[in-house]
């Protein structure tokens, strides 16, 4: 048996593939278009491992996906492939709809032509808490029953893909599972997202750009915990169900940035003895910025016995350690097109 992981050269997808092959003997085919966010170096440690094969291509290529499903006798697809960065969706929404909506449609079409061949087949769609919109400070956390109220083009495109997955279940009987999780952090995250961006900028002596007042709240999920949740949902989730996955770690952005500065002050003190916190700069807020996300993860705990294992403090320290030990990886991905994006976004 084999699983097909789409978007497996990106942040969460590559963590998932590495984690899967470290804990299971079941082969993996990774399909990834290798956009700016996809990086084959993430999977370098698998070179020569006969259990892993990589195919460059798009989830929207129904014929290609159909061939992969048949030739590898795939028993599950885990769909990570997406455009994933909110700020990029604000400055250019179209690719988000091409990949997250039309790409998912192409992928579902391939699965529709295949799934009847295997009675144990599963399609696991990895989605986000952003589809639920934003919360006031005292509102209860997002449950699976919350209405969809996406506020950014990224969130709208992910919401659309979730609806497509649901429709394929209702209309064609596809054996689907959906997860909606909170902000992931950990090794191999592209340094456009808050935590790796702040580590990268701090070490480079650059400003740490906090949007608005920095009091927006996110729930932080260590990527290893996300991988274990996905394995569990794939193994035991009920078909057609959605599971919210969270880290039980609600923090304001400014708290996160200050915690990173404190860790870096200890692990890589600045030559002049000052704190990295001196580099914090409040910049113009993100348009339509969601104020707070929080996940009610009681369903996955109650029904599947999963809960996150990593505390925020230890997860953040592991993450900082990884970035300090892998500066070559960061240098490699922060070349070329990335620099143009940073220049446009932050001026």
Q: Which residues are catalytic?
A: 129-130, 154
CB of 164 to ligand NAD, least distance (A): 13
Backbone angles phi, psi at 215, to 5 degrees: -95, 10
Q: Spell out the SS3 assignment of 64-91.
A: HHHHHHHHCCEEEEEECCCCCCHHHHHH
CB of 307 to ligand DAU, least distance (A): 19
| Residues 55/29, Cβ–Cβ less than 8 Å | yes
| Angstrom distance (rounded) from CA 242 to CA 129 | 11
Opening angle at CA 45, ends 39 and 47, nearest 5: 90
CB of 127 to ligand DAU, least distance (A): 8
Which one of ligand DAU, ligand NAD, none is in contact with 69 (Cβ closer than 5 to 8 A by kind)? none
Of positions 58, 151, 242, 250, contacts ligand NAD by CB under 6 A: 58
295 bridge partner residues: 142
CB of 33 to ligand DAU, least distance (A): 16
CB of 83 to ligand NAD, least distance (A): 6
Most distant pair of Cα atoms in the chain: their distance: 65
85 belongs to the binding site for ligand DAU (CB under 6 A): yes
| Residues 205/279, Cβ–Cβ less than 8 Å | yes
Collapsing DSSP to helix, strand or coil, 19 comes out as: helix
Of positions 54, 80, 132, 329, contacts ligand NAD by CB under 6 A: 80
The one segment of 34-42, 112-120, 191-199, 298-306 that binds ligand DAU by CB under 6 A: 191-199
- 120: alpha, beta or left? (left if phi > 0; alpha if psi -120 to 50): alpha
| Residues 41/197, Cβ–Cβ less than 8 Å | no
Alpha helices per DSSP H over 126-252:
153-172, 194-203, 223-236
35 belongs to the binding site for ligand NAD (CB under 6 A): yes
Range 178-207, binding ligand NAD (CB under 6 A): 181, 183-184, 190
Of positions 3, 4, 11, 200, contacts ligand NAD by CB under 6 A: 11
| Residues 298/221, Cβ–Cβ less than 8 Å | no
250 belongs to the binding site for ligand NAD (CB under 6 A): no
Which one of ligand DAU, ligand NAD, none is in contact with 6 (Cβ closer than 5 to 8 A by kind)? ligand NAD
- The number of residues that bind ligand DAU (CB under 6 A) is 19
| Residues 99/81, Cβ–Cβ less than 8 Å | yes
Q: Which is nearer to ligand NAD, 159 or 174 (CB)?
A: 159
60 belongs to the binding site for ligand NAD (CB under 6 A): yes
In terms of C-beta density within 10 A (0-12 exposed, 13-18 middle, 19 or more buried), how is residue 254 classed?
middle
- The number of residues that bind ligand NAD (CB under 6 A) is 30
End-to-end CA distance of the chain: 49
The one segment of 80-88, 268-276, 294-302, 315-323 that binds ligand NAD by CB under 6 A: 80-88
| Angstrom distance (rounded) from CA 320 to CA 333 | 17
| Angstrom distance (rounded) from CA 280 to CA 255 | 12
103 belongs to the binding site for ligand NAD (CB under 6 A): yes
Of positions 32, 130, 162, 310, contacts ligand DAU by CB under 6 A: 130
DSSP state at residue 326: T
Q: Which is nearer to ligand NAD, 158 or 231 (CB)?
A: 158
* Residue nearest ligand NAD by beta-carbon distance: 10
Which one of ligand DAU, ligand NAD, none is in contact with 194 (Cβ closer than 5 to 8 A by kind)? ligand DAU
Please report, as ranges, the residues that interact with ligand DAU according to CB under 6 A: 84-86, 128-130, 182-183, 193-194, 197, 209-211, 216, 218, 253, 286, 293
Binding site for ligand NAD (CB under 6 A): 6-7, 9-13, 31-35, 37-38, 58-60, 80-82, 84, 99, 103, 126, 128, 158, 181, 183-184, 190
């Amino acid at each position: 048996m084999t699983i097909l992981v789409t978007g497996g050269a990106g942040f969460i997808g590559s963590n998932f593939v590495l984690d899967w092959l470290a804990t299971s003997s079941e082969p993996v085919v990774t399909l990834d278009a290798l956009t700016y966010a996809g990086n084959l170096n993430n999977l370098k440690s698998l070179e020569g491992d006969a259990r892993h094969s990589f195919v460059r291509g798009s989830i929207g290529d129904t014929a290609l996906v159909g061939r992969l499903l048949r030739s590898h006798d795939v028993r599950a697809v885990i769909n990570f492939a997406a455009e994933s960065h909110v700020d990029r969706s604000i400055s250019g929404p179209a690719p988000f709809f091409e990949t997250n909506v039309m790409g998912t449609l192409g992928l579902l079409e391939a699965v529709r032509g295949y799934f009847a061949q295997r009675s144990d087949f599963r399609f696991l769609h990895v989605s986000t808490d952003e589809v639920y919109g934003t919360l006031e400070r005292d509102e209860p956390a997002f449950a699976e029953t919350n209405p969809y109220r996406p506020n950014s083009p990224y969130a709208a495109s992910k919401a659309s893909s979730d609806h497509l997955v649901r429709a394929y279940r209702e209309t064609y009987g596809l054996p689907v599972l959906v997860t909606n999780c909170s902000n992931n952090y950990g090794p191999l995250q592209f340094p456009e997202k808050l935590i790796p961006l702040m580590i990268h900028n701090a070490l480079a002596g650059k400003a740490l750009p906090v949007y608005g007042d920095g009091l927006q709240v996110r729930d932080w999920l260590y990527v290893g915990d996300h991988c274990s949740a996905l394995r569990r949902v794939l193994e035991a989730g009920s078909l057609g169900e959605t599971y919210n996955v969270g880290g039980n770690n609600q923090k304001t952005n400014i708290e996160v940035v200050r915690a990173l500065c404190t860790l870096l002050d200890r692990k890589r003190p600045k030559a002049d003895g000052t704190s990295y916190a001196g580099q914090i700069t409040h910049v113009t807020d993100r348009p339509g910025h969601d104020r707070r996300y929080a996940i009610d993860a009681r369903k996955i705990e109650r029904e599947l016995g999963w809960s996150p294992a990593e505390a925020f403090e230890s997860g953040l320290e592991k993450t900082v350690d990884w970035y300090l030990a892998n500066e070559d990886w960061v240098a490699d991905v922060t070349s070329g097109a990335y620099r143009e994006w940073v220049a446009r976004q932050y001026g």
